[in-house]
């Protein structure tokens, strides 16, 4: 299978390396000088240094060269942009009529509050098989070949089969699901919970508080997922509780780092600049808060995080609001 990966950041590079273990892969990035440097050095020294490219992985800044072969039946287009980059990337791909498309981003489109598959439906229509590849995974560990389990979510069983065939093997396990909504909601909202957990850890609130935030965060994710048409059992799997635990506790988590930095008193602008990578939870928090209010879904942790990020609420007020909430049945 011929595979093209659009996006040469850390996660796109890691997945390109993983796919190239079994398939020829062409990774595209818009910066011609950067792609030439990668091709020469045979690694992504800016975003994922220290991991050599396998022989099956080539890089290019020529968009047509990367996308034109994706019209063939035995092909897979992997979009490795942020959520904000998904729409323009799909629009650029549409004239080439790609057959099979998956994306790696996790979040809601900020301006529309749409999930990635809803954006794809608007742009690609019914004639293209598409879906999401998600799950608990850090780029460095995937590139290193450490054990990892992911889920491909699509209403096309054939696309899911192709992704599993292209990626599953050795230390990588790939499961399939037809619950695209559940998989995407889990991947999106866990980033917000990781910011909250980072704040709690940074303030020294203890392991008990971390466990409570993760557990109540899962309840919020499940409420929203079900309200949008996802299945509760999906949120108990890899792309729900699995990704939530990793992102809230792993030191490689960008969203957790945002929370830790907030607890140090740093401004959001400084944090984003220092991070140097996209932390999707920041962009997602506002969209999820607005969507939850529209749907009447109770999401107090999300409200608190968005309040700190966008409304000027202090961390002390955020913690106070969460601790002062009325007692209720645990499953509410």
Which residues form the catalytic set? 190
List, edge to edge, every strand of the sheet that includes 100-103. 57-60, 25-28, 2-6, 75-79, 100-103, 129-134, 148-154, 172-177
The count of other CB atoms within 10 Å of the CB of residue 228 is 16
What's phi and psi for 112, nearest 5 deg? Answer: -110, -15
Two tokens, residue 187: 């991947």
Q: Which two tokens stand for residue 148?
A: 């990892």
What three-state secondary structure class fits 102? Answer: strand
Instruction: Tell me how far CA of residue 142 lies from CA of 58, 172, 229, 294, in angstroms.
Output: 18, 8, 31, 37
Angle between helices 10-19 and 157-167 (to 10 degrees): 80
Region of residue 139 (phi > 0: left; psi between -120 and 50: alpha; otherwise: beta): alpha
- Assess contact for 247 and 184: CB atoms under 8 A: no
């Amino acid at each position: 299978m011929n595979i093209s990966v659009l996006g040469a950041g850390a996660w796109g590079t890691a997945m390109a390396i993983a796919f190239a273990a079994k398939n020829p892969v062409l990774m595209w990035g818009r910066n011609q000088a950067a792609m030439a440097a990668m091709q020469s050095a045979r690694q992504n020294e800016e975003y994922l240094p220290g991991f050599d490219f396998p022989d099956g992985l080539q890089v290019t800044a020529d968009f047509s060269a990367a996308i034109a072969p994706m019209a063939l039946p035995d092909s897979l287009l992997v979009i490795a942009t942020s959520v904000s980059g998904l729409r323009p990337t799909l629009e650029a791909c549409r004239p080439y009529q790609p057959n099979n498309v998956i994306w790696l981003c996790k979040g809601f489109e900020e301006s529309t509050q749409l999930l990635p598959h809803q954006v794809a439906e608007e742009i690609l229509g019914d004639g293209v098989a598409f879906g999401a590849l998600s799950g608990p995974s850090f780029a460095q560990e995937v590139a290193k070949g450490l054990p990892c389990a992911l889920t491909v979510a699509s209403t096309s069983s054939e696309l899911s089969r192709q992704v599993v065939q292209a990626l599953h093997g050795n230390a990588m396990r790939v499961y399939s699901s037809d619950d695209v909504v559940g998989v995407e909601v889990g991947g999106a909202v866990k980033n917000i919970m990781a910011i909250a957990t980072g704040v709690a850890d940074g303030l020294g609130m203890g392991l008990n508080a971390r466990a409570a935030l993760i557990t109540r965060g899962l309840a919020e994710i499940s409420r929203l997922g079900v309200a949008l048409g996802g299945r509760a059992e999906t949120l108990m799997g890899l792309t729900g509780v699995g990704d939530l635990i990793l992102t809230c506790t792993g030191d490689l988590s960008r969203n957790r780092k945002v929370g830790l930095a907030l607890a140090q008193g740093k401004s959001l602008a400084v944090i984003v600049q220092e991070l140097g990578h996209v932390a999707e939870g920041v962009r997602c928090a506002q969209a999820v808060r607005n969507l939850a209010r529209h749907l009447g879904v109770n999401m107090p942790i999300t409200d608190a995080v968005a309040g700190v990020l966008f409304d000027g609420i202090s961390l002390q007020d955020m913690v106070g609001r969460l601790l002062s909430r009325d007692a209720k049945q645990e499953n509410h």
